[in-house]
Amino acid sequence: MTLSKAATQSDASVHSTFASRYARVCLPRFKMPDNSIPKEAAYQIINDELMLDGNPRLNLASFVTTWMEPECDKLMMDAINKNYVDMDEYPVTTELQNRCVNMIANLFNAPLGETEVAVGVGTVGSSEAIMLAGLAFKRRWQNRRRALGLPTDNPNIVTGANVQVCWEKFARYFEVELKEVKLSDGYYVMDPQKAVDMVDENTICVAAILGSTLNGEFEDVKLLNDLLEAKNKETGWDTPIHVDAASGGFIAPFLYPELEWDFRLPLVKSINVSGHKYGLVYAGVGWVIWRTKEDLPEELIFHINYLGADQPTFTLNFSKGSNQIIAQYYQLIRLGFEGYKNIMENCQENAKILKAGLEETGRFTIISKDIGVPLVAFSLKDNSIHNEFEISDMLRRYGWIVPAYTMPPDAQHVTVLRVVIREDFSRTLANRLVTDIEKVLTDLDALPARFSAKLAANDENDDQVSRKKTALEMQKEVCSVWKKFVDERKMKINGVC
Partner 1 sequence: MVISNTTAEASTKNISCTFASRYVRTALPRYKMPENSIPKDAACQIINDELMLDGNPRLNLASFVTTWMEPECDKLIMDSINKNYVDMDEYPVTTELQNRCVNIIAHLFNAPVGDEETAIGVGTVGSSEAIMLAGLAFKRKWQQKRRAEGKPCDKPNIVTGANVQVCWEKFARYFEVELKEVNLEEDYYVMDPKKAVDMVDENTICVAAILGSTLTGEFEDVKLLNELLTKKNEETGWNTPIHVDAASGGFIAPFIYPDIEWDFRLPLVKSINVSGHKYGLVYAGVGWVIWRNRDDLPEDLVFHINYLGSDQPTFTLNFSKGSSQIIAQYYQLIRLGFEGYKNIMENCRDNAKMLTEEVEKTGKFKVVSKDVGVPVVAFSLKDSSKYTVFDISENLRRFGWIVPAYTMPANAQHVAVLRVVVREDFSRTLGERLISNLQTVLNEMESHPIPVSTKSAHVTIDSENTQGDKVITKKDVTETQTEITKFWKKLVDRKKTNAVC
Q: Is 147 in the site for partner 1 (CB under 8 A)?
A: no
CB distance 234 to 199 below 8 Å: no
Q: Is 482 in the site for partner 1 (CB under 8 A)?
A: no
Least distance in angstroms from the C-beta of 2 to partner 1: 36
Query: How far does the chain reach from its first CA to its final CA, in angstroms?
Result: 69
By beta-carbon proximity to partner 1, the closer residue of 160 and 228 is: 160
User: What CA–CA distance (Å, rounded) separates 407 from 412?
Assistant: 5
User: What CA–CA distance (Å, rounded) separates 231 from 229?
Assistant: 5
Using DSSP's 3-state secondary structure scheme, residue 119 falls into strand
User: What CA–CA distance (Å, rounded) separates 252 from 242?
Assistant: 16
- Position among 6, 19, 26, 32 found at the interface with partner 1 (CB under 8 A): 32
Helix, strand, coil: what percent of the chain each, to 5?
A: 45, 15, 40
User: What CA–CA distance (Å, rounded) separates 170 from 417?
Assistant: 27
By beta-carbon proximity to partner 1, the closer residue of 30 and 147 is: 30
Least distance in angstroms from the C-beta of 312 to partner 1: 5
By beta-carbon proximity to partner 1, the closer residue of 127 and 203 is: 127
- Binding window for partner 1 (CB under 8 A); candidates: 4-12, 106-114, 226-234, 453-461: 106-114
Q: Is 13 in the site for partner 1 (CB under 8 A)?
A: no
Task: List the interface residues with partner 1, window 271-310 (CB under 8 A).
Answer: 274, 276, 282-284, 293, 299-302, 304-310
- Binding window for partner 1 (CB under 8 A); candidates: 232-240, 325-333, 349-357, 471-479: 325-333
CB distance 448 to 473 below 8 Å: yes
Nearest to 394 by CA among 341, 436, 454: 436
Q: Is 344 in the site for partner 1 (CB under 8 A)?
A: no
Per-residue burial over 36-64, b = 16 or more CB atoms within 10 Å of its CB, e = otherwise: eeeeebeebbeeeeeeeeeeeebbbbebb
Least distance in angstroms from the C-beta of 232 to partner 1: 27
Least distance in angstroms from the C-beta of 57 to partner 1: 7
By beta-carbon proximity to partner 1, the closer residue of 346 and 458 is: 346
User: What CA–CA distance (Å, rounded) separates 51 from 72?
Assistant: 24
- Position among 67, 187, 482, 485 found at the interface with partner 1 (CB under 8 A): 67
Nearest to 276 by CA among 63, 96, 94, 55: 63
User: How many chain residues interact with partner 1 (CB under 8 A)?
Assistant: 150
- Position among 20, 131, 228, 243 found at the interface with partner 1 (CB under 8 A): 131
Using DSSP's 3-state secondary structure scheme, residue 210 falls into strand
Q: Is 462 in the site for partner 1 (CB under 8 A)?
A: no
Nearest to 381 by CA among 329, 417, 422: 417
Q: Give 388's contacts (C-beta < 8 A, 6+ positions apart).
A: 379, 380, 404, 415, 416, 417
By beta-carbon proximity to partner 1, the closer residue of 228 and 320 is: 320
- Binding window for partner 1 (CB under 8 A); candidates: 24-32, 191-199, 257-265, 442-450: 24-32
Least distance in angstroms from the C-beta of 425 to partner 1: 14
- Position among 23, 178, 335, 449 found at the interface with partner 1 (CB under 8 A): 335
By beta-carbon proximity to partner 1, the closer residue of 93 and 350 is: 93
Per-residue burial over 158-194, b = 16 or more CB atoms within 10 Å of its CB, e = otherwise: bbbbbbbebbeebbeeeebebbbbebeeeebbbbbee
User: What CA–CA distance (Å, rounded) separates 331 from 214?
Assistant: 27
Least distance in angstroms from the C-beta of 213 to partner 1: 6
- Position among 12, 150, 230, 316 found at the interface with partner 1 (CB under 8 A): 316
Task: List the interface residues with partner 1, window 370-409 (CB under 8 A).
Answer: 392, 401, 403-406
Q: Is 429 in the site for partner 1 (CB under 8 A)?
A: no
- Position among 40, 295, 473, 477 found at the interface with partner 1 (CB under 8 A): 40
Concatenate the DSSP letters of all residues of 212-236 into one string: -TTT-BBP-HHHHHHHHHHHHHHH-
x-or-dash pattern for partner 1, window 201-220, by CB under 8 A?
Answer: ------------xx------
Q: Where are the alpha helices (DSSP H) in 58-174?
A: 70-78, 91-107, 126-148, 165-173
Q: Give 361's contacts (C-beta < 8 A, 6+ positions apart).
A: 434, 437, 438, 441
Q: Is 451 in the site for partner 1 (CB under 8 A)?
A: no
By beta-carbon proximity to partner 1, the closer residue of 21 and 334 is: 334
Q: Is 474 in the site for partner 1 (CB under 8 A)?
A: no
By beta-carbon proximity to partner 1, the closer residue of 7 and 497 is: 497
- Position among 311, 346, 383, 458 found at the interface with partner 1 (CB under 8 A): 311
